[in-house]
Amino acid sequence: MSTLKPYALKPAEPEWPASLAERMGRNAPPALHMIGPVTLLAERRTALFCSATTPGDAILRAHDTARQLRDEGVSVISGFHSPIEKGCLKILLRGNQPIIVCPARSLEGMRVSPECRPAFDAGRLLFLSPFADLPRRVTKESALRRNEVVAALTDELVVAYARPGGAMEALLAEARRWGIPCSLLVGAGRSAN
């Protein structure tokens, strides 16, 4: 397994997603760091999120939603960091749709896991990060920043579960303020925008 070198996409380039500046303004990242086909950014994207601590019914609904997105060929973007998100990634990797994985850390020194290699080699998997060199490990702050960038990049947001008063609930509220259609599969405030 060889280490891959990320490249930086800057706002002046034609592939730069306009939604970042429109939604985040001055808080938009100065570059997006990527490994994989930048063309996947041209696809309509659905973000998939879930709080780390999740009730059982959210797990079932998240996996059902991942299967539906896979079967419909919907491009999915996520950090795929929480246990439920990781389970959804395994489901999505069995399909043929585009997937954008957004780690909450720099892509420097990153290797593509054997599980992700077939999708990556097929040109349907893009790794994307708003971080150039640091952090090397996920932090609470980097996860919050990554989630905000993912939400700003998406056309639709699906949250399997948002713990009341938690970061995911705040992200859902921000996405709704940006006018992004949102669905909360389990929990208070469940609705589509």
Lowest mean pLDDT among 94-103, 123-132, 180-189: 180-189
Q: Determine what percent of the chain falls in helix, strand and coil, rounding each to the nearest 5.
A: 40, 20, 40
Rounded distance, CA 144 to CA 189, Å?
21
Residue 2: per-residue pLDDT? 58
Is 90 exceeded by the pLDDT of residue 193? no
Residue 155: per-residue pLDDT? 97
Residue 189: per-residue pLDDT? 47
Considering the segment(s) 32-186 as one domain, its CATH architecture is 3-Layer(aba) Sandwich (3.40)
As a whole number, mean pLDDT of residues 93-122 equals 96
Residue 188: per-residue pLDDT? 54
